[in-house]
Structure 1
Amino acid sequence: MQSKELLLEAFDRLPALVRQVLEGLGEVDLQRRPAGNGNSIGWLIWHTGRVEDAQVASASGLEQVWTAEGFVSRFGLPLAERDTGYGHTSEQVDAVMAPRELLQEYYAAVHRQTVQVLQGIDDPDLDRVVDKHWDPPVTLGVRLVSILGDCLQHLGQAAYAKGLHAEPADAPGA
């Protein structure tokens, strides 16, 4: 297996995780915050897409799907155009509201761009420095692994949050 194939296999698992988390959730479910102050499922899915979008686009010299495909206006969030959710306050987390279908559509578009990028790389490309702000500088390979880890963590958090609100099978009315 080549590095590109391994990365494609790993990133190709993410859309199914997004669909599984979002399946069956309504607006209230998407906005509910664990313990009243944790990140909501809707915010976590949005943030997962934004992080992957921003970092893959930056590392590849592409425009973010968020702006290129008009998702910034479709979401209509009261946030800066380039906001990815990093360092959000509690009020900003609350401000990220979107229907399940839009969250899923945005992530699917981000994934398509990621796949296009991955299909166009070869092993030597993974050693290309994409961020000199770190010591040592960050290569494309390191950045892709970092993005993947970040996405998996956030989707795991979203799945956990969904489970916190699931009605037990033996509950009355279940």
Structure 2
Amino acid sequence: MNSVLIRHIGFALAVLLITGCNRSEPQAPEVGAAPTAASAPASGQLVAELKASEPSIKTQVGTKEQGDLAATGKKGVLAHGPYQKLGPGRYLLTVEGATSTPFVLDVVSARAQNTHGRKRVAPGKDAVPLTSLPFDLPTSVDDLEIRVIVPEGADTKLIGYKIVRR
């Protein structure tokens, strides 16, 4: 009985090999893999939208109040995060909020070793959007970080961010 079963299994394997069971089938891309032309977001497509009050947005010199992130007047990093994966491409970061003092906005990855965009933002009145920053990612990143760096006496409030494909 075992020899009959072994012959049937052997026959089934031979049929599968002859009919091409080993040909490569399309597979889902790896997590964090570069998007293909078919899977890449279209120009103008919203890729990410974050509120400043979300847990993935951290602060060293701010307080989260009523859904916003407000500077305390100390010099330092008002916002950093969200440390998310993002594929290669050309993007536009839009920051919503208000400021009466200048600040620095940058987009980095690899624990801030790679800078993808940096801008000094001039003071303005309740501007929504407050500012925007184009940036390019030549390869996928696992830890995209948006940072807002404020001077001593800063009066800056962040509402949130949007990233769109350009």
After TM superposition, the score normalised by the length of structure 1 is 0.26
The structure that is strand-richer by fraction is: 2
TM-score normalised by structure 2 residue count: 0.27
